[in-house]
Amino acid sequence: MSGAAIAATATVIGAGVTAYGQAQQGKTANAIAQRNAQIMNRNATIGMQNSEFNAKLAEREALRDQRRKQVKSGQGIEIYDGTNLIAFATQEWSDEINAELIRRGGRNEAANLQMKAGVTIAEGEAAESAGYMAAGGSLLTGVGNAALGYKAATR
């Protein structure tokens, strides 16, 4: 085997090794992105569960406060009259709004995490595609350089 053939073979092998590394790098980046997306989706679910739990705690605390504000009579509970009744109803409405805001905050946080997970998945897939494209480019460049080098050496 001539020196030119050996050089051309080494160039092609080097390009192949580079291409393989680039393809593996893309696959690894995609795998990491997919795992990060799973974590984000899991965190979104946990966020929703936490917000529901916190909303229920707020509702229970509000109910306890309402009961404390009620006046007990001999047979049961008498609700305030007049202005106190309006204040009582306003507080009940406010407590319901607070609980719903806690739930809404959890839903918004979860949706944000799910959108980020979608972007991360797309980035991972793009990284894998870019790795394959770079690998293909390296192979073509290596083969082209080997051919040029071989042609120049055999003149």
- Determine the Cα–Cα distance for residues 77 and 74; give it in Å rounded to an integer: 8
Decide if pLDDT at 117 tops 90. yes
Q: What pLDDT shows up at residue 113?
A: 92
Average predicted confidence (pLDDT) for the chain: 84
Percent of all residues in the chain with a pLDDT value above 70, rounded to a whole number: 86
- Determine the Cα–Cα distance for residues 76 and 74; give it in Å rounded to an integer: 6
Contact call for residues 4 and 155 (beta carbons, < 8 A):
no
pTM: 0.66
Q: What letter does residue 78 receive in the DSSP assignment?
A: E
R_g of the chain computed on alpha carbons = 33
Query: Which range, of 65-79, 107-121, 138-152, averages the lowest pLDDT?
Result: 65-79
Output the CA–CA distances (angstroms, integers) from residue 132 to 11, 30, 32, 90, in the order listed: 19, 12, 16, 63
User: Which pLDDT tens digit goes with each residue over 19-36?
Assistant: 888 999 999 999 999 999
Decide if pLDDT at 79 tops 80. no
Residue 50 — very low, low, confident or very high, per pLDDT cuts 50/70/90? very high
Q: What letter does residue 155 receive in the DSSP assignment?
A: -
Q: What pLDDT shows up at residue 49?
A: 93
Burial group, residue 2, by CB count within 10 angstroms (0-12, 13-18, 19+): exposed
Q: What pLDDT shows up at residue 140?
A: 87
How long is the chain? 155
Beta strand 71-72 with 77-78: parallel, antiparallel or unpaired?
antiparallel
Decide if pLDDT at 105 tops 60. yes
Residue 81 — very low, low, confident or very high, per pLDDT cuts 50/70/90? low
